[in-house]
Amino acid sequence: MSSALTDLFPHPIVQAPMAGGVSVPQLAAAVCEAGGLGFLAAGYKTADGMYQEIKQLRSLTSRPFGVNVFMPQPEYADPAAVDVYAHQLAGEATWYEAELGDPDSGRDDGFEAKLVVLRDNPVQVVSFHFGVPGREVVDALHRVGTFVLAAATTPDEARAVERAGADGVIAQGVEAGGHQGTHRDIPETDRSGVGLLSLIAQVREAVSIPIIAAGGIMRGGQIAGVLAAGASAAQLGTAFLATHESGANALHKQALTNPLFVRTELTRAFSGRPARGLVNRFLREHGPYAPAAYPEIHHLTSPLRKAAAKAGDAQGMALWAGQGHRMARELPAGQLVEVLAGELAAARASLTGGGVL
Ligand SMILES: Cc1cc2nc3c(=O)[nH]c(=O)nc-3n(C[C@H](O)[C@H](O)[C@H](O)COP(=O)(O)O)c2cc1C
C-alpha cells in the first residue's frame, strides 16, 4: 500500500462498510480509536444521510476513516422476470401483511450528489463497490487528498481498478458476507466465485497496487495468512457485525452463532445481486429462481424484510454473513481490534520463530 495509506491506521485491520444500518458512526469510531480503519457505508442512503453520518463520526473521532459508495448499475434487468418474481412473492406479502415494494424506486441512490459531498468535505479514504468509477472521479478525489479503493472479485476486475488510477484494490473472496462486488452481474453468471487465498495470488500477479483482502476473516491468524500471501491489510465485515456498536438487528447478530443457521449461500433472493447470507426459509424458497435484477429486487423485497424484522422472524430477513460466521465474537469493537491485533502478532511470531517467514 502506498506508505501514506498504511500510515493512516496502525493495525492492518479495516472494518468493512456494511450498508443497511450496520456500520454506524459509533462502530467506525470505536474501530478508528483502537487503531483500525473504520468505514461508513453510503449504500441505500441519500447524499445528505451520508453527510450527516460523516459529521457524526467526526464528532466521535479525529482519526482517519473511510466512506463506501455503491456504483450505479447499468439497466439490464428484464422487467418480465421482475414481474414473475413479484407474483411468486405475493404469498410472502400476504403472510407478513405487507405490500411489495416498487421495483422502480430508483437505480443509483444519489451517486453524483454523494461525489459532490465527498469532494466538498473530503474524507481520508473512499471505496467503491459494484464497479469502479472513471479516472476523472478518481482524479477529483485525489485532488482533495482522498485515497481511492474499489472491490474486485477476479483478476480482470482488479486490472480495471488499477487502470482507473485507484490506490488499492479490495480483493473480495467468495467467502465474503454481503454482496459480492462483482463489476457486472450478468444473468448467466453462476454463483461460484474465487476463494480468497487463490484470489490474492491471482490479483497479486495481475496488478501492482496494494491489496486489501476480504472474505471469511474472523481471527488474527487469518490476517497473518493474507498478509503473508501478499495483501497489505484485511477487511472484516461479519466479525464486526457481531460487535456491541454494530447497528445490525439483534436477531441478525444472534443468528450468526445460532445452531439453527449452519450454512451460508450466495443468493439473489433479497436484492437481485449475488450476496452471501445465512440460509433461512426465504433464501431457501426463493433463492433458486430469483432473477438478476439489482436494485429492482432490493426495492421489491424491502417491505417484506422490514415486516419480518418487525415480527421478530429471522427466517424472512436478509441475514448477510460470511462463511466464518460461527466464529463471531460479541465484543466491543475496539476490544475486537485489540484481540485481532494480538492474534496477528502471535501468529507472526510463531511463523518467524518457526523459520516459516
Ligand atoms: C451485513 C453486510 C453488509 C455489507 N455491506 C457492504 C457495503 O455496503 N459495501 C461494501 O463495499 N461491502 C459490503 N459488505 C461486504 C464487505 O465489504 C466485505 O467484503 C465482507 O464483509 C467480507 O467478508 P466477511 O463478512 O466474511 O468478513 C457487506 C457485508 C456484510 C456482512
d(CA 180, CA 174): 7
Please determine, for residue 1, whether its predicted confidence score (pLDDT) is greater than 50: no
Which grid cell sits at 218? Answer: 474472523
Please determine, for residue 280, whether its predicted confidence score (pLDDT) is greater than 50: yes
Mean predicted confidence (pLDDT) in 307-313: 97
Most informative mutation of 13, 15, 18 for ligand 1 (most atoms within 8 A of CB): 18
Ligand 1 contact via 214 beta carbon (within 6 Å): yes
Ligand 1 center to residue 19 CA distance, Å?
8
Nearest CA to ligand 1 atom 13: 18
Which grid cell sits at 308? Answer: 419480518
d(CA 140, CA 121): 12
Nearest CA to ligand 1 atom 30: 178
Query: Which residue, among 348, 346, 325, has the nearest Cα to 215 in the 3D structure?
Result: 325
Nearest CA to ligand 1 atom 17: 16
Is 24 in a helix, a strand, or coil?
A: coil
Each residue's pLDDT tens digit, 87-97: 999 999 999 99
Classify residue 176 by burial, with Cβ atoms within 10 Å: 0-12, 13-18, 19+.
buried
pLDDT of residue 77: 82
User: Which is more confident, 147 or 190?
Assistant: 147
Contact 288, 327 (CB under 8 A): no
The edge-to-edge listing of strands for the beta sheet with 178-179 is 178-179, 275-278, 264-267
d(CA 163, CA 160): 5
357 pLDDT band (50/70/90 cuts)? low
d(CA 185, CA 100): 23
Ligand 1 contact via 238 beta carbon (within 6 Å): yes
Per the confidence metrics, is the pTM higher than 0.85?
Answer: yes
Residue 20 CA: which ligand 1 atom is closest? 3
d(CA 149, CA 170): 7
Contact 272, 298 (CB under 8 A): yes
Ligand 1 contact via 41 beta carbon (within 6 Å): yes
- Residue 72 DSSP label: P
Ligand 1 center to residue 176 CA distance, Å?
7
Residue 276 CA: which ligand 1 atom is closest? 31
351 pLDDT band (50/70/90 cuts)? confident
Each residue's pLDDT tens digit, 30-81: 999 999 999 999 999 999 999 999 999 999 999 999 999 999 988 778 899 9
Most informative mutation of 69, 320, 337 for ligand 1 (most atoms within 8 A of CB): 320
Residue 16 CA: which ligand 1 atom is closest? 17
Each residue's pLDDT tens digit, 55-66: 999 999 999 999
Q: How far is CA 62 from CA 11, 38, 159, in A?
A: 17, 12, 34
